[in-house]
């Protein structure tokens, strides 16, 4: 299998997995699916997700400045 076919297969699997997640969410009465990603934004856009915010985080340690 070449890289293009592997990428297409991975996207199809990813899309199917998200369909299952969304179906389960609907069954539970959820109105929204939200997630954070760094590398897959184009994939999520391609299956109908809208970019809604930027996610920031900071790891704190004892010597962190406030």
pTM, 2 dp? 0.73
Among candidate residues 33, 31, 8, 4, the one with its CA nearest the CA of residue 18: 33
Q: State residue 61's pLDDT score.
A: 87
Least confident range from 5-9, 41-45, 62-66: namely 62-66
Task: Encode pLDDT of 23-47 as tens digits.
Answer: 999 999 999 999 988 889 999 999 9
φ, ψ at 29 (rounded to 5°) = 90, 10
21 with 33: CB under 8 angstroms?
Answer: yes
């Amino acid at each position: 299998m070449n890289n293009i076919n592997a990428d297409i297969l991975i996207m199809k699997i990813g899309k199917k997995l998200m369909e299952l997640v969304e179906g389960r969410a609907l069954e539970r009465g959820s109105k929204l699916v939200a997630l954070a990603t760094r590398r897959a934004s184009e994939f999520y856009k391609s299956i109908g997700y809208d970019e809604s915010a930027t996610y920031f985080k900071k790891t704190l340690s004892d010597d962190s400045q406030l």
